Amino acid sequence: MPTATAPPPIDVRTLLDFRGLELVFPNGTVALSGVDLTVDRGEFVSIVGPSGCGKSTLLRIASGLESASSGTADVSAKRIGYVFQDATLLPWRTVQGNVELLAELHKAPAAERTAKAAAAIGLVGLTGFEKHLPKQLSGGMKMRVSLARSLTLDPELFLFDEPFGALDEITRERLNDELLRLFVEQRFAGLFITHSVSEAVYLSTKVVVMSGRPGAVVKRFDVPFPMPRDPDIRFTPEFAELVGEVSHALREGHR
């Protein structure tokens, strides 16, 4: 009797899979050249690279806003969250109204929207600020609202484009810890762009270093420190050593 052939297993671990990506803009600018990048479930991947090396372009490809000229860009994550350097809040809407926005666009019923927004506002530590308008919030609080807005979608993959770049050091460190807590609790995967090597090492399970334009991956580092991550890890020689190695690769790739 013929035996049924089992279908090939689907690799549900990989949420984003870029192979040999090239991107040439219509004006001839070669932004990316042969970029291989994957983000698996459970991973938090940071990209560091010199200005103009194509980091934001990679996120634009991940979100479907840009298409590669060649190579393959597979994104199997169904629900994707976005946080950019600018919190992009609607100034006339309250915190609650801003956080409900995505659920509203997805036509979720009012009661579900309210409940999801309240839970997300709680997750980012803004309970009590629901009725505030964006102009009444600090920069760090606005970023929390931006995070909460995407959390209502229960994202499988979160894309971050230098979300904390404009914040002061203390606020940035606090938000790094909040983000790590959310990563552990909410179990989304992350693709995070930053100019800060220590931020990349502190947050990530993997750090990818890109060269200057055209952007290519010059080195990948696995970050061995366990999750949940101890904030004091930043003051250890092992942490300093890894930051040094990533910084060195960044300098080498920039020549």
For the bound state, the minimum distance from the C-beta of residue 218 to ligand ATP, rounded and expressed in Å, comes to: 14
Closest C-alpha among 80, 76, 87 to residue 188: 80
Residue 130, SS3 per DSSP: coil
Q: Which of 33, 46, 57, 194 binds ligand ATP (CB under 6 A)?
A: 57
Q: Residue 25 corresponds to which tokens in the numbers above?
A: 């803009």
For the bound state, the minimum distance from the C-beta of residue 69 to ligand ATP, rounded and expressed in Å, comes to: 12
Q: Could you tell me the CA-to-CA distances from 77 to 6, 11, 143, 193 in Å, in that order? A: 24, 12, 23, 18
Residues 11-50 that bind ligand ATP (CB under 6 A): 25, 27, 29, 31, 49
Judging by DSSP bridges, how do beta strands 206-210 and 44-48 pair with one another?
parallel
Q: How many residues bind ligand ATP (CB under 6 A)?
A: 13
- The nearer residue to ligand ATP, 97 or 165, going by C-beta atoms, is 165
- Taking CB under 6 A as the rule, does residue 54 contact ligand ATP? yes
- The nearer residue to ligand ATP, 100 or 161, going by C-beta atoms, is 161
- The nearer residue to ligand ATP, 27 or 67, going by C-beta atoms, is 27
CA distance 56 to 115: 33
* Chain CA centroid to CA 225, Å: 19
Maximum CA extent, the chain: 73
Among the residue ranges 51-59, 151-159, 163-171, 173-181, the one whose residues contact ligand ATP (CB under 6 A): 51-59
- The nearer residue to ligand ATP, 55 or 142, going by C-beta atoms, is 55
Paired strand residues for 209: 48, 219
Phi-psi category of 217—alpha, beta or left, where left has phi over 0 and alpha has psi -120 to 50? beta
Q: Exposed e or buried b for every residue in 206-235, given b needs 16+ CB within 10 A?
A: bbbbbbbbbbbbbbebebebeeebeeeebe
Residues 166-225 that bind ligand ATP (CB under 6 A): 213
Q: Which of 51, 170, 226, 232 binds ligand ATP (CB under 6 A)?
A: 51
- The nearer residue to ligand ATP, 2 or 28, going by C-beta atoms, is 28
- The nearer residue to ligand ATP, 62 or 103, going by C-beta atoms, is 62
For the bound state, the minimum distance from the C-beta of residue 148 to ligand ATP, rounded and expressed in Å, comes to: 25
- Taking CB under 6 A as the rule, does residue 56 contact ligand ATP? yes
Judging by DSSP bridges, how do beta strands 157-161 and 30-40 pair with one another?
unpaired
Binding mask 117-146 for ligand ATP (x = CB under 6 A): ------------------------------
Site residues for ligand ATP per CB under 6 A? 25, 27, 29, 31, 49, 51-57, 213
